Amino acid sequence: MQTTAHRSRFGFFVLSLATTLILTAGSGVSAGQAPQSGAGSNSHSGAGSNSHSGAGSNSHSGAGSNSQSGAGPNSHSGAGSNSQSGAGSNSQSGAGPNSQSGAGSNSKIAKDLQGEEHNDDTVDVIVQFKRGKASGEAIQAGGGWVKDELPIVDGVVASIPAKALEQLAKRPDVAFVSPNRKVHSTMDYSNPTVGADIARSLGFDGTGIGVAVIDSGVSNPPDLASRVVYSESFISLSANERYGHGTHVAGIIAGIGKDSNQKYLGIAPGANIVNLRVLDDSGGGRDSDVIKAIDRAIALKSQYNIRVINLSLGRPVFESYTLDPLCQAVERAWAAGIVVVTAAGNEGRNNSFGTHGYDTIAAPGNDPYVITVGAMKTEGTLSKGDDLIASYSSKGPTAFDHFVKPDIVAPGNRIVSVSTPGVSILATAVPSNMVGTSYFKLSGTSMAAPMVSGAAALLLQKDPSLTPDQVKARLMKSASKSFPTVSTFLDPVTGMTYISQYDIFTIGAGYLDIPAALANTDAAIGSALSPTAVYNTITGKVQVVTASAAVWGDTAVWGATAVWGANVFLSGNAAVWGDSAVWGDAAVWGDAAVWGDAAVWGDAAVWGDATTVLSEN
């Protein structure tokens, strides 16, 4: 039975959610639309049972092991680049606030707010406080007001005069101040390609597992009618979407194939969908809404057995994950025992900074805890043998912290999933992408992420005792490692040729293989933090360095070549990148490119609202 609740937007302006959605129309129509102005101030009545009450930060403590302690602004220990480096030099400057000197006079003010202190505007910000110190008085003292509370990150959403930012940041109880940033949304062949059909033959279809889809909402087509068990909107619009993105994502996870004689089944058609809407009818939303939805998923975990959160969305990276409130929220979910799967982003073709699409992983996919997913092309066949990386799939390492991402790749190009006839805005905009009357074809890492979310649900159905780290480790180790060295794609519209090299920053640990993951019985002891890439300016080599508490330290079972495959390394832990990059070392690994302070994701550098990327044939 579906329960529905609504929640107010508190008048926030709508952002555009970060992982750009890719349409498969030959005309190259983009799903990115101009953000819509704020939703009304009247709040809708809450879904008023005790199980819906906000799970504050205290309720999240104690979940998970010591190795999963949050690496937030209050605690920079853990997975930050300093703790993982053990090598490297000043070019690997740490991720803590003090290490971000050069970003302005106050290291507690986000880089994209620097300079705002001198104008007369009022700005919407997320203020993270020291643990247990959240205070409305701090905001009011600067002439501002609190719009909403974000207990999951010990923070608040506030409007405050820009001139008051510096004084606010100087307060000892304030940890970090950042904008309330914009985010946006980023199977006929895909199902057997990753082995979901084999999983079903073995009796695994995700039954009993709840997957929270934090997206543009989920409508109620026949393929999902029995799967959506709870819906709530964190914006002024109904949880029952019109855009078409969230429904498509939910169908990849748990569609039952009712209108296709089960041809377009989801990866885990027995799983339950918890629909938490944060995006509007143009695919736009705010950091704060995503954070509140993650908080709600944690609060509802026991009631709906939510073991997986799918985030087919994102935005640019503006600071270390240790300071980013979106990253801190996903870490709280991870520590609460929920696997978080997020899209890598669709900026793999971006060469604005001479990096050929490297260093373009979107937040929160830059967090080392979560499973970050890149997109593959099935080439219209059932076999993996001819599959290639989608040239638009974002590549690592991550900005600021230099983590090795993505963690895994999965089918994401020209994916057929559920649509609602006469309702979906995307289907109306590009009718040529309709498949029959009930399905629609989309491309992007937004489509690859739910493939992995569905796979995680299958693993958890088989063994409910698995921790998020164990799920991540098994999916990565069991992933297929067989790839070509290089592939090319000629864009028929622009005439541009894109070269993809199959290195550790493009394919991660490999291609999702569900039967192999289900067959794997290795028990990971410790965290599955994504490792750090350390660039040696003297040798020109890129070394992969793991955290001391990470499972990858057990070389007998979890050695680098076992998890990432031998082909991505030259020798030992030196990545193949060191000598044989197709375009030469200096282009990507120069000091001013990936490793410099001015990371690729500068001030709104390439994230226009109407980014257009074609699907690939």
Catalytically annotated residues: 215, 245, 446
What is the residue-wise DSSP string for 29-45?
Answer: -BS--PPPPPPPSPPPP
Report which of 487, 304, 326 is spatially closest to residue 393, judged by C-alpha positions.
Answer: 487
Distance from C-alpha of 196 to C-alpha of 372, rounded to nearest angstrom: 20
Tokens at 40, concatenated: 């009304």
Is residue 11 within 8 A of residue 38, CB to CB? The reply is: yes
Tokens at 273, concatenated: 């969908």
The CA-to-CA distance between both ends of the chain, in Å, stands at 40
Looking up tokens 């990276």 gives 317
Is residue 233 within 8 A of residue 303, CB to CB? The reply is: no
CA distances from 327 to 72, 140, 198, 218, 322 (A): 8, 27, 34, 24, 7
Task: Give the chain's radius of gyration (CA, Å).
Answer: 22
Distance from C-alpha of 194 to C-alpha of 515, rounded to nearest angstrom: 8
Distance from C-alpha of 589 to C-alpha of 485, rounded to nearest angstrom: 19
> Residue-wise over 192-203: b if at least 16 C-beta within 10 A, else e?
bbbbbeebbeee
CA distances from 515 to 203, 211, 459, 519 (A): 12, 20, 10, 6
Distance from C-alpha of 435 to C-alpha of 258, rounded to nearest angstrom: 14
The 10 Å Cβ neighbour count of residue 302 is: 10
Distance from C-alpha of 338 to C-alpha of 222, rounded to nearest angstrom: 28
Report which of 351, 355, 363 is spatially closest to residue 317, judged by C-alpha positions.
Answer: 363
The dihedral sign for the CA sequence 154, 466, 504, 351: negative
- Altogether, the residues listed in the chain come to a count of 617
Residue 3: CB partners within 8 Å, gap ≥ 6?
47, 229, 230, 231
Residue 58: CB partners within 8 Å, gap ≥ 6?
none
Q: What angle do CA 431, 435, 439 make, to 5 degrees?
A: 95
Tokens at 512, concatenated: 């999702």
Distance from C-alpha of 103 to C-alpha of 597, rounded to nearest angstrom: 9
Distance from C-alpha of 564 to C-alpha of 408, rounded to nearest angstrom: 9
* Encoded amino acid at 396, one letter: G
Distance from C-alpha of 395 to C-alpha of 412, rounded to nearest angstrom: 15
The dihedral sign for the CA sequence 492, 498, 503, 509: negative
Mapped onto helix, strand or coil, the DSSP state of residue 427 is helix
Mapped onto helix, strand or coil, the DSSP state of residue 394 is coil
Report which of 75, 64, 52 is spatially closest to residue 336, judged by C-alpha positions.
Answer: 64
Q: Peptide bond before 364: cis, by omega within 30 degrees of 0?
A: yes
